Each structure stands twice: as structure tokens, then as C-alpha cells.
Amino acid sequence: MSVRFHKGFDDQENEVTIPSLEIERGALPTWLSGTLMRNGPARFRLDEGTLNHWFDGLAMLHRFDMADGRVSYTNKFLDTPARRAIQDGRMRYSEFATDPCRSLFKRIAQQFVGSRFGANANVTVGKIAGEFVAQTEVPMPVAFDKETLDTIGVLGYEDRLKGQLTTAHPHYDREQRVAFNYLLKFGVKSSYGIYELPAGSRTRRLVGEADARKPSYMHSFAISAKYAILMEFPLVVNPLRLLLSGRPFIENYRWEPERGTRFSIVDRSTGDVTYAHTDEAWFGFHHVNAVDRGDDVIDLDIIVYPNADIVQHFYLESLLDGPNHNVFPDSELRRFTIDVATGAVTSRTLVDHSADLPRINYAYNTKPYKYVYANGIAERGRSMLPDTIVKYDVESGEVKEWRHDNHFPGEPVFVARPNVDAEDDGVLLNVVLDATTDTSYLLLLDARDLSEIAQARVPQHVPFGFHGTYVR
């Protein structure tokens, strides 16, 4: 099979502003007026050596502005200590899977002055206290100017919550106007604190705290109307190792499937914590939704893998030079039904198809819903990277697909058509790498049937990124 996706991992040093992209096919819907902002790594090659992993690359912001049938494009690196050091020819800060060379003394000193992290927030874009921020899993959001994409700086919270790790996937309760996230505090006894942050505020409030001796690597979590739920995959770390091993962050984690999978369930109003458990070992990055069924049962839907091999798959060496059998690990959309009172967990496959980077119409978060959009795998056991856009019907298990040979889409972002009721009445925005020309384009699909609406060409490549957000 010919796979030419490598351009998606090439550095993109060119920062441009293009007032009007060429619309190569179709036309933008007249109602579509807003901005898609995306984040992702755009530089891996250093003066000496290369970063190890897809999650390590230097953050670049991308902005697609849509109005009056036109699309403009701007991209800019996030201006951070990590980026400046690399421009000066040195790697000075820890990334997900790459560490600079350091003495033990320096490592420990840095641990306590908190400068091991160079603010390379390359995962997603959010909004905190009215500011647009780039976010990653170290709780130091980096504010930037929405128009110019110029970096403003690390956004400070005004509270006393402490923790070293969080997610780049906060949840939002649009009625209560609060955001939720967790903050992991490493210690002899580590804890995951669930906090809420009112819109417009910098003051987080601790809702409840679950403890863990060996914290799990959890890239996202779920909220239902009543609970915040942490699905603790058995990819776990001994916090001492993180402090002393001298290995990059993720290499300190161990796959311990015999632990099974624990769920920490925090009551959003009382802060009470209960635990549930299954002997089955699962791993995943992305929760899809969670819905309360009756009083004390939660249906939690998530893209899962039977193990954490996917983390290895995303090393650049594996992606770019791996042997032909180095294919994308199989995933599925699975529903875990949790009985909060008894701690019992059962689960079943909802959609038996491989994909990741799932999105829903977020108005349906915590509510009964039907559709998931994701970055899909055309052929299990053959594709190395996601190469389709899929739409899942979680009730029937039906899969719809958009695909095009040698075109590599990313995360599909759903935008609802204003003033409509149907869950899937809207468009999907997707940045696709066209590996036949080594350039990218913004693809608009009708979310109902995945038919093409328009394509707007960027005259250079947009490296494969992670997440984005649409703002009106």
C-alpha cells in the first residue's frame, strides 16, 4: 500500500497570513461565520537531533476565519521558553517523550523551582478568564491574541490549588457556565482533584478529590449531569520515578494490566467520591460522552484500545521508519455501564471500527445522543495512520465514511447550523493533508451524510495536529 503521509510530520517553519484561500471546490454556507483555531506540533528537528514523539513537537497555532463565503488562514508558533531555547540551538525543557541532557543535581533543582517545563502547550485551544489559551497536560495555559495569534504568556490562576498534571480536555457545563478539569498532585499519596472554574474567572474551586498510589495516565475524563468520572487505565507511574529516573515523562509509566481499570466517580454537587472497578485492562485517550441512566447508573462512552501500544506507535521513529507491519492499533467505541452504588462495571462494544480524535455536537454532552465524528482507520491491520473521517451512529453501530486516496484528515470539528434542532444538522470542519501535493486544505462536510460542501486550499502543509475549537 502506498502511504505518503510523511509530510504531515515535516517541520513547518513558514508563518503566513493569507487573507483569502482559494476555494477549490464548492462554496461556504452563507450562515457559516466564525473561526476555527487549531493547535499542534510543527517542529521536531533541532540543530542537533530530533524530538522523539509526535506529542513533543513545538506548538503552532492555526486560524481559519470564515465569513462572507471566504476563508483566511494564519499560522504562528507559540512563543515559549521551549521554542526560544530550541531556536537558540538547545533543548532545555522536558517534553512528553524527550528530555534534554541534565545532571541529576540540575534535574532535582529544576523540579523544585518548577522550570522543567517550557510551556510548549501544543494540544488544544480553549478559553480561560476571557482569554484564548493554548493548552497541554501541564497546568500552564498559554494565552494568545485571537486575531494575530501572538503569544501573550502563561495565564496565572488566582487560587491555591496545586498540581503537576491536568488534561487538555476540560469539560464545559453551558448552563452552569463552569469548566471542569482534574489536577493531579504527585506525592507519597497522589490525588486527582476535580475542580470547577466559572466562565470569566481565574479562581478554581476544588469539587472533590480521589486518591491514587500510582496515578494513571489519563488524557481526558468525562462528566455526566451528576458526576465527574475518571477512568483510570492501568498505565501507571510511581511518582518517585518521575522525580528521579532521569527518563522522559511518559517512559516512567508502566503498563500493569493485572490492576484492571478503576473508575473514580466524583459527585459534582457534594464532592463525594466513589470507586468502581473492572478486572479488564483498557487504555484510551478520548472520552466521548457520559450519560446518567436513572439515579445511580452512568453510561460512559470512550474510544478504547486493549493496551497502551498506541503510545509507542506515535514515536516518530515508529511512524516514519517503522517496518510495514507497524499498523495503527485497533480501537473501538465502547460503552461502560457503571453502577455507582455497587461499584459494578459492565461494558459492550458500541461501534466495532477503529478511530480516534472523536467529537460530538457538544450541546449533547451529558445527554442522550446518537452521533460521534472521528478520525477513522480505513483498513484495520493495514493503515498506519487515520485516513478517513467517520460518523458513528451509537444506537445502530452504523459507520459512514469520507475518504480519498492519499488524503489524510485530522480531527473533525462539528459546527451546528444556527437555530436548528437535529443533532447532526451542521458542518464538519477538517484540516486534510493532501499527500499528492504536500499541501493541506480546509474541508467542509455536511455532518448529516458526510457529503462535501467545500475545500479551501492552504498553499503549504499543516503538520498533523491534535485538537481545535470553533468560535463564532
- Positions in the binding site for ligand QVM (CB under 6 A): 55, 94-96, 111, 116-117, 122-123, 136-138, 164-165, 242, 249, 466
Which region, left, alpha or beta, applies to residue 406 given φ > 0 means left and ψ of -120 to 50 means alpha?
A: left
**Shortest distance (Å) from residue 123 CB to ligand QVM:** 5
CB-CB contact of 329 with 309 (8 Å): yes
Q: Number of C-alpha atoms within 13 angstroms, CB side, residue 302? A: 28
Residue 308 C-alpha cell reads as 497502551
In the bound state with ligand QVM, the residue whose beta carbon lies nearer, of 123 and 210, is: 123
Residue 330 backbone phi and psi in degrees, to 5: -70, 135
C-alpha neighbours within 13 Å on the C-beta side of residue 154: 16
Q: Which of 202, 200, 203, 204 is nearest to 177 (CA)?
A: 200
Is the CB of 103 or the CB of 324 nearer to ligand QVM?
Answer: 103
Strand segments (E) across 259-331: 261-267, 273-278, 287-293, 297-304
Residue 243, phi-psi category: left (phi > 0), alpha (psi -120 to 50), beta (remainder): alpha
Whichever of 5 and 369 has its CB closer to ligand QVM, that residue is 5
Residue 29 C-beta: closest distance to ligand QVM, Å: 30
C-alpha cell at 2: 502506498
Which CB sits closer to ligand QVM, 227 or 408?
A: 408
Q: Is 117 or 227 the residue whose CB approaches ligand QVM more closely?
A: 117
Q: Which is nearer to ligand QVM, 50 or 111 (CB)?
A: 111
Least gap, CB of 101 to ligand QVM (angstroms): 14
Whichever of 21 and 61 has its CB closer to ligand QVM, that residue is: 61
Contacts of 111 (CB under 8 A, 6+ apart): 243
Amino acid at 190: S
Tell me whether residue 1 or residue 188 sits nearer to ligand QVM (CB atom).
188
CB neighbour burial string for 102-140, b if at least 16 within 10 angstroms, e if fewer: eeeeebeebeeeeebbbbbbbbbbbbbbebbbbbbbbbb
Residue 102 Cβ, how far from ligand QVM at the closest point, in Å?
11
The whole-angstrom distance between residue 431's C-alpha and the CA centroid of its chain comes to 15
Tell me how far, at minimum, the Cβ of 329 lies from ligand QVM, in Å.
15
Which of 253, 243, 180 shows the shortest CA–CA distance to 215?
A: 253
| Number of residues written out for the chain | 472
Nearest distance from C-beta of residue 455 to ligand QVM, angstroms:
26
d(CA 145, CA 193): 30
Smallest distance from the beta carbon of 70 to ligand QVM, in angstroms?
A: 31
Q: Which residue has the cell 470553533?
A: 470
Cβ of residue 95: shortest distance to ligand QVM, in angstroms? 5
118 vs 426, beta carbon nearer ligand QVM = 118
The CB-of-398 to ligand QVM minimum distance in angstroms stands at 27
- Minimum distance, C-beta of residue 471 to ligand QVM, in the bound complex (Å): 21
C-alpha cell at 92: 532545555
The owner of cell 540540575 is 106
Comparing CB distances to ligand QVM, the nearer of 95 and 301 is: 95
